[in-house]
Chain A
């Protein structure tokens, strides 16, 4: 599966379209992490626990998007976009979407 956030896959031509594919996941860290992050919030700087959480979630969202593209018989996803939204207290939704295509 080839993935890019450009409109075409560089060096290849799109021969077929399979519509929009997307993947999302909503996640929260356990309370221990939240408390640690709360303390870290005083000192400022990077909140490593949250960075990791969102990183993992984004990979998961991407994976689900790719699975959907595979289901439709695509071999590439172009114009991929990411979105993060804070849906509930201490939880975040990570969303990835793009256009599934067949390239040659």
Chain B
């Protein structure tokens, strides 16, 4: 009985999170694309210098952040993949989406404050330790996007 439980619970989780993960990924992709379309007029760059003809009236730091975590399915596949090493493809899409989400939130914050230009944008990633398992597991990964928003004279 106990053995059946020990096998079926992970197996069900594995299968369920495979499908839920895919559904969430597709939905998030759609939301991100819609958000990015809305911010098409937003000028975001990682360089600090801006054209000298810009007349800057007001500046402020704008931030966007998100904490994400992988699902059970991806963690299991990741652990198995690490035996042979190489590219851990299952881990890549979530981080890519987290960066887009952080950037998008930064742009939304800038827009809410009336800015349309952001320069010197930086992206940072930090791992958050789990509060259980002696802090060994990873509770999540935080992605932060920040930059200096500029308001130009009309």
Number of residues in B with C-beta < 8 Å to the partner? 48
Residues of B within 8 A of A9 (CB): 59
A16 interface residue per 8 A CB criterion: no
Between A and B, how many residue pairs show CB distances below 8 Å?
138
Check if B131 sits within 8 Å of A90, measured CB to CB.
yes
B69 interface residue per 8 A CB criterion: yes
Q: Mark B132-149, 1 if CB is under 8 A from A, else 0.
A: 101100011010101110
Check if A6 sits within 8 Å of B139, measured CB to CB.
no
Q: Mark A1-21, 1 if CB is under 8 A from B, else 0.
A: 011111101110000000000
Q: Which residues of A45-70 have CB atoms within 8 Å of chain B's CB atoms?
A: 45-48, 50-51, 54-55, 58, 62
Nearest-CB residue, chain B, relative to A55:
B65
Specify which of B48, B50, B65 is in contact with A51 (CB 8 Å cutoff).
Answer: B65
Known: A54-B142, A89-B134. A5 touches B128 (CB 8 A): no
15 interchain pairs, CB-CB under 8 A: A4-B60, A4-B61, A6-B59, A6-B119, A11-B57, A44-B69, A46-B66, A50-B67, A50-B139, A55-B63, A58-B65, A84-B128, A89-B131, A90-B129, A92-B126
> Contact residues of B with A, CB < 8 Å?
13, 17, 20-21, 24, 28, 48, 50, 54-57, 59-61, 63, 65-72, 74, 94, 101, 119-120, 122, 124, 126-132, 134-135, 139-140, 142, 144, 146-148, 150
> Contact residues of A with B, CB < 8 Å?
2-7, 9-11, 28, 31, 34, 37-38, 40-48, 50-51, 54-55, 58, 62, 80-86, 88-90, 92
